[in-house]
Every structure is written in structure tokens, then in C-alpha cells.
Amino acid sequence: MSTHVFDQSRIEALQGQQAVRPWRQRPRKFVWAVAIASVAPALFVGALFFFTEIPGALLLIVFYLPIQMLAAALAAYVTRGTRGIADSVIIVNAIGATVFTAIILISLIGSLVVRGWSALSAHFIFQNNVYINPSTPLEYGGIGHAILGTFLIVLISALIAVPIGIATAIYITEVRGRAVPYVRFFVQAMSGVPSVVAGLFILTTLVVTGALTQSALAGGLAYAILMLPTVARTAEEVLKLVPEELRTGALALGSTRSRTVFQVVLPAAKTGIITAVILGVARVIGETAPLLLAAGNTDQTNLNPTGSPIASMPTYIFNNVALPYPDAVTRAWGAALVLIILVAVLFTLARFIGSRKPGR
């Protein structure tokens, strides 16, 4: 028996190497087969598209997908035998599903830009909807009142949901009381509450009883129900990333529990907390049903948080979608474009802030 002795440099060289994975090598024949299998069906179906009357969507699903599967299966059979067939079929379908999703997303974003663009202008952002009826041309009126209303409602809901959400996360990660599993369970369950139910709840407890009228406050409370779980769950994730040494260090220096949280843990997780707030805002900003029930709608600019109905971007879109006037519909597309840009900006912001390391 002999023991193998490796010198250090050889071990290091081995460690630097990628796994070889000989089964993943691609012979030349394989590349050719794949190339032919991907081009031929597309050419054939493309010819069908130009020379027959079959509609495009049908052509893609009923003709292209099976033909492409067949071609890929043939190519796989030629290069790898029967074992390759199942692989090729699943690869074709997986790419098909991805393309399907991408087409829908492109269609969504594309139609928003194409149809909403003509509505955009300075006055569309700043003016309100007073004196505007559905047939008024696009030179007049705008969504200024709805933008302000959305901001006011979201602000109110954030003022309620963010402190409670962060406190919930602090309970789970810092206080670590006996009820942690239950609290988590309830937060999870709360995140599944349908938005229309949140609106109904505020409607029946506050509006129907006369405690509040339809207003920004009522809408904000309904939004807060939807925002709270998102903030709590994201904040919990980021507080967990704060190193345990910081907590024990602060406690060892004689700090009290609350000072540890406020002066050490929360500042260390600052960027993560901001991300949690942004994600919470992005979660609710487009919700329509709760505002239809709890906030109502108006054409005027309204900055009074209680006492009178308030407009918002989702309800503005909702009210314009199915009107039989082209200009009203264009306004809906324009407002939708502004709303989606807002959501995209919020998400990019959350990504950007969230990608920075915690604890700085």
C-alpha cells in the first residue's frame, strides 16, 4: 500500500479547474443538426404564413410547435440516439414557453407605449379632469388630480403600514418571543387577502358605519392592509442579514435592547429597510378594487385626506377603459403608461438599493 503525496502547487492547480463534464461536449455533427433543425421549420412555417390565410397565432401553436418538436427530435435522434428525443422535446417546449411569455410581455409594454404615447403631454400630467367629459379632445385635461391622489393615499398607507411592518419584523428577528412562528404564519396568511376583500373590510367597518366617508384615509387604510405583509416579510429578510456580532457587541457594551435595535440594528440594515418600503409601495400602487370601494372617485384635485372622495390613477384608468369615446380610451392608455413607468422606476430603485451590501 502506498499513500499518494501531492505537492501543494498541483492541488492548487486542480482546485482552479472547472469540472470537465465530458457528457456535455458537443460534436460538430450535433451543431449542424441543431442548426438545420432550428432553421428548417421556421422557413416552412414562414412560407405557410405568407402563402396561406391561416392566422399567425394558430400557425405558431398548431403548426410551428409540433413541426419544431419533430425536427428537434429527428436531430437529437441522428446525433444521440433515442435518448436524445425526450431532451429535445422538452428543450423546444421550454423555449416555446419562454417565447410565449416574452411575446405577452412585449405586447403589453408595446401597446402601452404605442397607444398611451399620444396622450402624454405636460398638461396631461398637471391638469385635472374638471370640465372634461369623455368626448373632450386630448388637448385638455389630465391626470394631475389622480397622481396627487395616488401619492396621498400611498403616503397614508405607508405611514400606517411601514412602522407596523418593521415592528413585526423586529419582533421576529430581535425580540424573538415565543409567538414567532404564529406571527409569521399570520403575516403569510395576510399576504393572501384579496385586494377587494381589504376594500370591503374598510368599507363595512368605517364607511358604512359613518366613521369615515370615502376618502384618502379610508383608501390608505385599505392599502395598508395589502402593504403590511410585504413590508414585514422583506424587512424580516434584511434584519436577518445583520451580523449577530453587532447585537452581542452592543449588548456587551451595556446598551439596552431598544437602543441596540434603534442605534445598531436598524442603521445597519438601513438600505434593506428602504428596499422593503419601496417594495411595499410598488405592491399597492396599482391596486384598483380597494380604492373603488373605499376611496371613491372625483374629477377635482383634492388634497383633503378625510371627508371627500379622492381620485387615483388606477380608478382613473378603470373609469376610462370601456367608454365608447376614443379620446377617453387614449387617456386610459396614457394614465396606464404613466403608472407602469412609476412601478418600473420603483422596482429599479429597489433593485439598485437592494443590491448594495447591507451593514454599510
Partner 1 sequence: MATPELGQRDLQAAATSHRGDRVFNRVVTGAAFTALLVLAGIAIFLGVQVIPAFQSQGLSFLTTTAWDINTDPPTAGIFGMLYGSLLVAGIGLVIGTPVALLLSIFLVFIAPPRVSRLMTNFIDLMAAIPSVILGLWAFYILNSQAQEWQELLNQYLGWIPIFHNDSGNFQGTPFIAGFVLAIMMIPIVTSVTREVLGRTPPDLINAAEALGCSMWTMLRYVALPYGRGGIVGGIMLGLGRALGETVAVFFVLKIVFNTNWYNVIESGGGSVATLIVSRFGEVSGTFELNLLLAAGFFLFIGTLIVNVIANLIVARTGRLQK
Residues within window 115-154 making contact with partner 1, judged by CB under 8 A: 115
Of 29 and 259, which CB lies nearer to partner 1 in the complex structure? 259
Give me the DSSP letters along 72-107: HHHHHHHHH-THHHHHHHHHHHHHHHHHHHHHHHHH
Quote the cell numbers at residue 118. Answer: 399620444
Of 256 and 304, which CB lies nearer to partner 1 in the complex structure? 256
- 75 lies in the binding site for partner 1 (CB under 8 A): no
- 276 lies in the binding site for partner 1 (CB under 8 A): no
Stretch that binds partner 1, among 45-53, 124-132, 138-146, 255-263 (CB under 8 A): 255-263
- C-alpha angle 148-333-55 in degrees, rounded to nearest 5: 160
- Decide: 326 and 134 in contact? Cβ < 8 Å: no
Residue 79 CB neighbour total at 10 angstroms: 18
Alpha-carbon torsion 154, 155, 160, 165, what sign?
positive
Q: Is 141 left (phi over 0), alpha (psi -120 to 50) or beta?
A: left
Q: By rule CB under 8 A, what string of x and - marks binding of each residue 194-223 to partner 1? A: xxxxx-xx-xxx--x---------------
Q: In angstroms, what is the minimal distance from the CB of 180 to partner 1?
A: 9
Cα 227 to chain centroid distance, Å, stands at: 13
Q: In angstroms, what is the minimal distance from the CB of 115 to partner 1?
A: 8
Dist. CA 297–CA 126, nearest whole Å: 18
Residue 352 CB neighbour total at 10 angstroms: 12
- 58 lies in the binding site for partner 1 (CB under 8 A): yes
Q: Which of 170, 227, 239, 278 lies at the binding interface for partner 1 (CB under 8 A)? A: 170
5 to 24, contacts with partner 1 by CB under 8 A? 19, 21, 23-24
Q: Which of 104, 125, 130, 303 lies at the binding interface for partner 1 (CB under 8 A)? A: 104
Dist. CA 312–CA 319, nearest whole Å: 11
Stretch that binds partner 1, among 33-41, 97-105, 129-137, 142-150 (CB under 8 A): 97-105
Stretch that binds partner 1, among 44-52, 268-276, 300-308, 340-348 (CB under 8 A): 340-348
CA distances from 147 to 111, 153, 196 (A): 22, 10, 21
Stretch that binds partner 1, among 7-15, 98-106, 128-136, 148-156 (CB under 8 A): 98-106
Count residues binding partner 1 (CB under 8 A): 105
Q: In angstroms, what is the minimal distance from the CB of 91 to partner 1?
A: 6
Q: In angstroms, what is the minimal distance from the CB of 318 to partner 1?
A: 5
- 277 lies in the binding site for partner 1 (CB under 8 A): no
